């Protein structure tokens, strides 16, 4: 088999094309919010969001609905809750978020264990992602949610940067800092929801943080970081899909691992150069 | 807010020639819950003055600045900026925050930071006009950092970072500059550069108020000093204000012996 057919072969299948579509979309959004996640120290919160969304997702599945109906409202509720905890309790926020996220994640597992068998839900798919199983309607929802996220992001980009860099100066300039912080958390949570399809609840950080972190080693300016981040995320998700197809490996783990390897390579190259 | 917009608030306002004080605090008090942080503070700063606010930690220095920019409301009394209430004079007042409150790892360039001063006046989707770019360029030139415009903010020294924030206030068209802990993380050599820039801006009509711990280096370079320790301990030219009595009221008796050896 020559190289070209080696590359083309997987995409003769509809399910792999659909997987590719979702992979491309999340490769654009993850580094975009990822830059804010890493520079504001929100990694733990991103992970907490992914885990906290789980019971909402489980509820929707048990009710026989699309998981979107549970995930999106749950994501927004937890974005608000986490924002509230950060603002009100300062340093204790870490503990509060940790307790919340572990409890809710456990609740989701208990729910699936009790009722999951009736509705044929595979716990592993939820936890580790099943991008090969996305449907056309999943792609449409992903696309719709992503376009909305991008428009809001573009509209408020300057405010998001200002508030993230200098919250006191932003407040003095008349920007409603609390509102912008909640908006950022809501955007992160929506991106987390979309990313769960690909890499599952547990591995969300692989896409949310690793490409943006690798990019911040490769570039300085924010648009360059976002650009490199998108490039790294695309390479990770496409390489992950191929590995998954030819190696018969779980897709979510393959993508997450590829993302981690890219970060390691960038970190090593950067160290060599400097 | 553009300059023309603050003229909408007060068409008579011409800050250079204004007979109104640049900053006017009248019996201003601020309380947080049951704590009175500022108690009955009254002073008026003439236009173009270079003012230092000194006092120990927790004396209310930052609170006073935040009251002047309108993000804290006085619980009693009033403050005015060129006769305007701070909540409506936002564009008039430029603010340089304490270094600790800034997220220095965030990936922004010197240019980006100064452009933040234009944020409130930018249009839909924050499109930058030629006027905005010109204002940023001019502001960077005035603080002597135009050649660093494409550098990342975190690659600058402490003193240069402060000058970038001063440029941001200038780009915003501010007439009153407030610097919170202006010399935090700034080495002595850079302090002189920063003060020279600030001094020059005062000559050009800016009014500057800064808070500092650094009495010895600053005192003789200021026009006026405001000594704060919850209440107003003293207010006037440095050589009148820094008396052993005032220093003791500010910092306790152990400082007075050091204070007596320090020349103003």
CB contact (8 A) between residue B122 and residue A158: yes
Which pLDDT score is estimated for A95? 83
Domain carrying residue A29 = 3-273
Q: Which residues of A touch B152 (CB under 8 A)?
A: 220-221
Give the residue from B214, B155, B210 showing the smallest Cα distance to B187. B214
A145: left (phi over 0), alpha (psi -120 to 50) or beta: alpha
Which pLDDT score is estimated for B260? 44
Is the Cα dihedral A198, A200, A201, A202 positive or negative?
A: negative
Domains of chain B (ranges; CATH) run 3-261 (3.40.50.300)
Average pLDDT, whole number, for chain B? Answer: 84
Give the N- to C-terminal CA distance of chain B in Å, as an integer: 40
> How would you class A118 by CB atoms within 10 Å of its CB: exposed for 0-12, middle for 13-18, buried for 19 or more?
exposed
Rounded to the nearest 5°, which phi and psi values hold at B42? -130, 125
Q: Name the residue with higher pLDDT: B243 or B75.
A: B75
pTM of the model: 0.88
CB contact (8 A) between residue A175 and residue B95: no
Q: Name the residue with higher pLDDT: B104 or A2.
A: B104
| Inter-residue contact A84 to A47 (CB < 8 Å) | no
Q: Name the residue with higher pLDDT: A117 or B233.
A: B233
Give the residue from A224, A233, A243 showing the smallest Cα distance to A263. A233
B256 band by pLDDT with thresholds 50, 70 and 90: low
Q: Which residues of A touch B68 (CB under 8 A)?
A: none
| Measured distance CA(B58)–CA(A14) in Å, rounded | 66
The answer, for B168 touching chain A at a CB cutoff of 8 Å, is: yes
CB contact (8 A) between residue A225 and residue B152: no
- CA A178 to chain centroid, in Å, comes to 23
pLDDT digits (tens, 9 = 90+) for B108-159: 999 999 999 988 766 556 678 888 999 999 999 999 999 999 999 999 999 9
Percent of chain B with pLDDT over 70: 86
Which pLDDT score is estimated for A97? 84
Question: How many domains does one find in chain A?
Answer: 1
Residues of chain A with pLDDT under 70: 1, 89-91
Q: Which residues of A touch B162 (CB under 8 A)?
A: none
Closest partner CB to A173 (pick from B106, B119, B165): B119
Closest partner CB to B119 (pick from A35, A158, A221): A158
- Domain CATH code at residue A93: 1.10.3470.10
């Amino acid at each position: 088999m020559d190289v070209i057919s080696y590359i083309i072969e997987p995409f003769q299948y509809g399910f792999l094309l659909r997987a590719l579509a979702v992979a491309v979309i999340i490769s654009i959004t993850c580094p975009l919010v990822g830059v804010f996640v890493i520079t504001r120290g929100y990694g733990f919160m991103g992970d907490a969001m992914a885990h906290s969304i789980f019971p909402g997702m489980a509820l929707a599945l048990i009710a026989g609905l699309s998981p979107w109906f549970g995930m999106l409202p749950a994501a927004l509720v937890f974005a608000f809750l986490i924002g509230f905890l950060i603002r009100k309790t300062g340093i204790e926020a870490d503990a509060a978020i940790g307790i919340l996220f572990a409890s809710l994640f456990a609740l989701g597992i208990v729910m699936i264990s009790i009722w999951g068998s009736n509705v044929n839900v595979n716990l592993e798919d939820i936890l580790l992602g099943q991008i090969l199983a996305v449907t056309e309607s999943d792609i449409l929802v992903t696309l719709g949610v992503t376009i909305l996220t991008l428009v809001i992001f573009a509209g408020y980009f300057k405010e998001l940067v200002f508030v993230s860099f200098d919250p006191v100066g932003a407040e003095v300039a008349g920007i409603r800092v609390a509102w912008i912080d909640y908006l950022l958390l809501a955007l992160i949570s929506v991106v987390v929801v979309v990313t769960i399809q690909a890499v599952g609840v547990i591995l969300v950080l692989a896409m949310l943080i690793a490409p943006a972190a690798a990019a911040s080693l490769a570039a300085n300016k924010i648009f360059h970081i976002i650009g490199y981040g998108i490039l790294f995320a695309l390479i990770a998700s496409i390489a992950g899909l191929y590995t998954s197809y030819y190696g018969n490996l779980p897709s979510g783990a393959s993508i997450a691992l590829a993302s981690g390897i890219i970060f390691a390579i960038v970190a090593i190259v950067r160290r060599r150069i400097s | 807010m553009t300059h023309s917009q603050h003229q909408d608030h007060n068409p008579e306002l011409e800050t250079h020639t204004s007979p109104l004080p640049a900053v006017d605090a009248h019996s201003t008090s601020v309380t947080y819950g049951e704590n009175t942080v500022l108690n009955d503070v009254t002073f008026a700063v003439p236009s173009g003055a270079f003012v230092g606010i000194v006092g120990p930690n927790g004396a209310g220095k930052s609170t006073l600045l935040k009251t002047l920019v309108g993000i804290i409301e006085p619980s009693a009394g009033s403050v005015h900026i060129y006769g305007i209430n701070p909540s409506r004079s936002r564009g008039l007042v430029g603010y340089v925050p304490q270094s600790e409150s800034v997220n220095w790892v965030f990936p922004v360039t010197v240019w980006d930071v100064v452009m933040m001063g234009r944020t409130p006046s930018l249009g839909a989707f924050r499109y930058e006009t030629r006027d905005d770019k010109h204002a940023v360029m001019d502001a960077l030139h005035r603080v002597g950092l135009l050649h660093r415009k494409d550098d990342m903010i975190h690659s600058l020294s402490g003193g240069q970072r402060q000058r970038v924030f001063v440029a941001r206030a200038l780009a915003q068209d501010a007439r009153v500059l407030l610097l919170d802990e202006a010399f935090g993380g700034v080495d002595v050599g850079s302090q002189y550069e920063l003060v020279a820039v600030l001094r020059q801006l005062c000559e050009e009509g800016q009014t500057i108020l800064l808070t500092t711990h650094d009495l010895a280096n600053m005192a003789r370079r200021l026009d006026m000093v405001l000594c704060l320790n919850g209440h107003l301990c003293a207010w006037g030219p440095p050589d009148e204000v820094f008396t052993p009595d005032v220093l003791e009221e500010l910092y306790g008796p152990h400082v007075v012996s050091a204070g007596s050896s320090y020349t103003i």
